[in-house]
Structure 1
Amino acid sequence: MTQTAGSTGSATVASASGPNRFVRSAAAQRRLHELVPGGAHTYARGSDQYPEGMAPVLVRGEGARVQDLDGNWLVEYGMGLRAVTLGHGYAPVADAVARAARDGVNFSRPSVWELQAAERFLAQVPGAEMVKFAKNGSDVTTAAVKLARVATGRDLVAVCTTQPFFSTDDWFVATTAMSAGIPQAHRDLTVGFRYNDLDSVRAMLDAHPGRVAALILEQATATAEPAPGFLEGLRELADRDGFVLIFDEMITGMRWAAGGAQSVYGVVPDLSTWGKALGNGFSVSALAGRADLMEVGGLNTDAARAFLLSTTHGAETTGLAALLAVADAYAGRDVVGEMERQGELLRAGVERAAAEAGLAEHLTVMGRASCLVFGTRDHEGKPSQAFRTLFLQELLERGVLAQSFVISAAHTDLDVELTVDAVVGALEVYGRALDAGTTDGLLRGRPVAPAMRERAAPRRLPDGGGTEGDGAGSVAGRGTTEVGS
């Protein structure tokens, strides 16, 4: 069994003796809806993303498991919206954060933590010459866009329309189904292109000659790898046209490699943005890139300065201490390799269970081993939100909390075994629904709804509605629930 520091193995999945119940969690969720818009602070964590009455409210985590208000211990995937790669309560990180906090969290001048974290991060990321830290991903992606606009004197931003999410700020949210309140002038400043389609990039540039300041994308996603020459082609187009090439490493950074996907694929961006696993769940993000671009927001410039990430909490010590401790863990062991090994073990187990149940065409596992997602299809072979919700329901009853199968280095062989056992049980119910041609009578409540939708009330989608992939819906057709992270 894979053993992980910070995990004692004492967290026992409670559903071994019977189905889980979520009575206290449901009551707490109702109260949250009275106090917090949407009932959660991130759309991906909303109760509408889970089977009705089965949205656990969590009280603690240990390794790859979490406990809810009803005392259920659940094997968790996609931990912290993919931010936790080393496990909940990972002792070296938690201890480093506690030590930093005891010495003071925030000062009127830079702390030594800022120097140490900058040196460590830049040594880790090839091609990055300067870095500035913040607290969440939207801060740094928006800062990258601002730098690009200042440096180029242009106004348009090009986003990859076949990828999920880049920012909570208007320049991106204007492109989604939740664009209410954003002036048309903002919407007109964002244009799009398609992943792995250089012709769509060229057409976009031809349609807006000399106006595109920045092009932003993830180099890869859970289900899509870059086609040969695609990233290299973007680099050539950026050099030729003069736009700033930005790679979003929120998910790929620390999960594809410690140096990010750019170190895997060998294409260096002008700027890159980081977050999530950078602090194993602690709040820290980073904007990194070429010194001449970064200095547009610094003191060593003769040009008009950009107001760049001047935040009260951007360099508080606990987040930077977490970053350094995470970097130590990645230097001391092959964290990415551990995730890939356990992910392949999980993939093989789930695919075997689906094949043995005769449901290999209805439950599919996709993506990089360190970032697996699953797809659910109905009796007609169509992607189905109702069948997805039924699958989530049955996994929860059997002790598995899984909007995806995104693994961590804390998932042990036993965690994977328990997950596969839960999948076997869930597929028995899934198969009955397929035979009946409907989830009626088996799914308790409404199907999950797209996280980013124009109207608040979740629609009771018919079987066969919705999208396949990670999360419970789509962002303007992009397919994700990791919204606002």
Structure 2
Amino acid sequence: MREFHRSNAIQARLHDLVPGGAHTYARGSDQYPEFMTPILVRGDGARVWDADGNAYIEYGMGLRSVTLGHGYAPVVEAVTAAIAGGVNFSRPTELELAAAEDFLALVPGADMVKFAKNGSDATTAAVRLARAVTGRETVAVCAQPFFSVDDWFIGTTEMNAGIPPTATVRFPYNDPEALAAVLDSGTIACVVMEAATALAEPEPGYLTTVRELCDRAGTLLVFDEMITGFRWSTGGAQQVYGVTPDLSCWGKAMGNGFPISALAGRREFMELGGLRAERDRVFLLSTTHGPETASLAAFRAVVAAYAETDPIGRMEHAGRRLADGVNKIAAELGIGDRLEVVGRPSCLIFLTRDQRGRPSQPYRTLFLQELLERGVLGQSFVTSAAHTDAEIDETLAACRPAAETYCRALESGTVEGLLRGRPVAPALRRHAAPRALRREA
């Protein structure tokens, strides 16, 4: 068995100093098997190492923000050169113009762009702008996992303590009639949605209908491209599906892990945050660190890498091999309907079900536990361009015994005796239970 003594000690200390023990809820210790929460110290390509010296093949890759691999040399070199000349100034830099030109050359239908640091900056700016444009308050969000840490979205989740009632309504994906009913109220400032997700492709004509419904209602259409941008294509889902939103929000893979996001959109709307507006100005985005040189240089290096190589092709190749391999193992064990890898090849997840076919956190935790013991780290099977055939082969070699343990649990009808510690729990939940920690005296 692997040892996690140093990682566990650091994790315990983090809980003393950082609420939740991590700066992102999705990275919390409650998202991993108890007492098996590696604290990472470095990464290279598709591999990472923890404080105890354990090595892993990593999936998820910085919550999908790393597509070229950890420590990708051209990005590191570009950032190193940029920061040697200073990081943050009291006036714009020429780098800001170059980065804006690079971005707008990639994104169809966008006339202007403004950079920030995280995805919530961009989505909340889009909501603010849509409200100013339409004079309406209500936001219609698609029933998809996550859009922002800000009140307008978090107020709709289970973790809504301290948030006043929000003017946000939800609508289901791939259901144009439901969206039409929401828009018929005449109160919707904008529709915020992912054009596609790992598990859901738009049905034929759906996104075109969404575009038409928004136009008819005088509502702005906002695409969240945080995940789809630089994973579906460099131009995002809007390029793949041929539907142009009024505004789009970007982040994650833009900087190969460096903190950068963007709000892009039509000039007539974006100008309301500038100095050429003929009506009341909108406080669009204004961040001290939005234009710092490190992340803009990283972004430009990412753009160059996508132009010169084929990261998406490599991610999809790795993903197809991995999904096919794991699903074949599960089928051979007779549990293909209980343990399954699904999704777009560049954005895979694994589904874990109990003996009755129900989604199961205990069985998910058991699979995570067995993978960790064999050097595979990840809440998903999201790949990067750094995942070579060798990494996929090693992962499949780890998945077979992990799946065999999973099979034994299904046969016995319980994870007891196989799972060490408590199961993982949803990141956004009302109470710390079932993974609450006892406060030390």
What is the aligned partner in structure 2 of residue 360 from structure 1? Answer: 336
Q: Post-superposition shift, 1:93?
A: 0.2
Alignment of 1:85 onto 2:56? no
* 1:21-40 Cα distance to aligned partner (Å, 9 max, x none): 21111110000000000000
> Could you tell me which of 125, 145, 151 is aligned with 1:170?
151
Deviation at 1:458, TM superposition (A): 2.2
Work out whether 1:451 is the aligned partner of 2:427. Answer: yes
Aligned sequence identity (%): 65
What is the 5 A alignment of 1:84-483? 84-161=66-143, 163-184=144-165, 187=166, 189-206=167-184, 208-209=185-186, 211-458=187-434
SS at match of 1:367: strand
For the residue of structure 2 that corresponds to 1:213, the secondary structure is strand
Mapped to 1, the partners of 2:411 and 2:341 lie a distance apart of: 22
The structural deviation recorded for 1:402 is: 1.8
The TM-score normalised by the length of structure 2 is 0.98
Q: SS of the residue aligned with 2:346?
A: helix
CA distance in 1, matches of 2:69, 2:420: 32
2:328, 2:4 → 1: CA distance? 30
Aligned-residue offset at 1:89: 0.3
Shift of 1:122: 0.1
The whole-number CA distance in structure 2 between the counterparts of 1:235 and 1:21 is 53
- Retained in 1: the 8 A contact 2:30–2:435? no
Give the distance between the partners of 2:349 and 2:431, measured in 1 at CA: 26
Deviation at 1:20, TM superposition (A): 2.1
Deviations 1:235-264 (A, max 9, x none): 101111110000000000000000101000
- 2:16 is the alignment partner of 1:38: no
In the TM superposition, what is the alpha-carbon distance from 1:213 to its structure 2 partner? 0.5
In structure 2, distance between residues paired with 1:346 and 1:356: 15
The amino acid across from 2:135 in the alignment is: G
| Displacement after TM superposition at 1:304 (Å) | 0.3
Which one of the candidate residues 64, 68, 74 is aligned to 2:56?
74
SS state at 1:192 partner? strand
Consecutive unaligned residues of structure 2, counting only runs of 5 or more, are 437-441
CA distance in 1, matches of 2:163, 2:324: 45
Residue 353 of structure 1 and its aligned partner are, at CA, apart by: 1.1
8 A Cα contact 1:62 1:87, kept in partner: yes
CA distance in 2, matches of 1:432, 1:172: 41
Runs of 4+ in 1 over 2 A off after TM superposition: 457-460
SS at structure 2 position matched to 1:372: strand
Question: What SS does structure 2 have at the residue aligned with 1:41?
Answer: coil
Unaligned runs of 5+ in 1: 1-18, 461-485
Partners in 2 of 1:369 and 1:357 — Cα distance?
23
Residue 182 of structure 1: CA displacement? 0.8
Contact 1:75–1:415 (8 Å) recurs in 2: yes
Deviations 1:31-69 (A, max 9, x none): 000000000000000000000000100000000010000
Q: Count residues in correspondence.
A: 436
Report the residue type matching 1:173 in the other structure: I
Counterpart contact for 1:361–1:381, Cα < 8 Å = yes
Aligned-residue offset at 1:348? 1.2
2:15 partner letter:
H
Aligned-partner SS, 1:85: coil
SS state at 2:10 partner: helix
Q: What is the rounded CA distance, in whole Å, between the counterparts of 1:359 and 1:422 in structure 2?
A: 17
What amino acid does structure 1 have at the position aligned with 2:90? S
Q: Structure 1: which amino acid aligns with 2:61?
A: M
CA contact under 8 A between 2:57 and 2:377: conserved in structure 1? yes
Cα distance in structure 2, aligned partners of 1:368 and 1:117: 29
SS of match in other structure, 1:415: helix
In 1, distance between residues paired with 2:425 and 2:316?
A: 30
The CA deviation at 1:215 is 0.4
**Partners of 1:266 and 1:370 in 2: CA distance:** 20
- Counterpart CA distance in 1 for 2:370 and 2:36 is 10
User: 1:20 touches 1:399 (CA, 8 Å); kept in 2?
Assistant: no
Shift of 1:459: 5.4
The answer (yes or no) to whether the contact 1:158–1:190 under 8 Å persists in 2 is yes
Q: How does 1:13-24 map to 2 (within 5 A)?
A: 19-24=1-6
Query: Hey, what does 2:439 align to over in structure 1?
Result: none
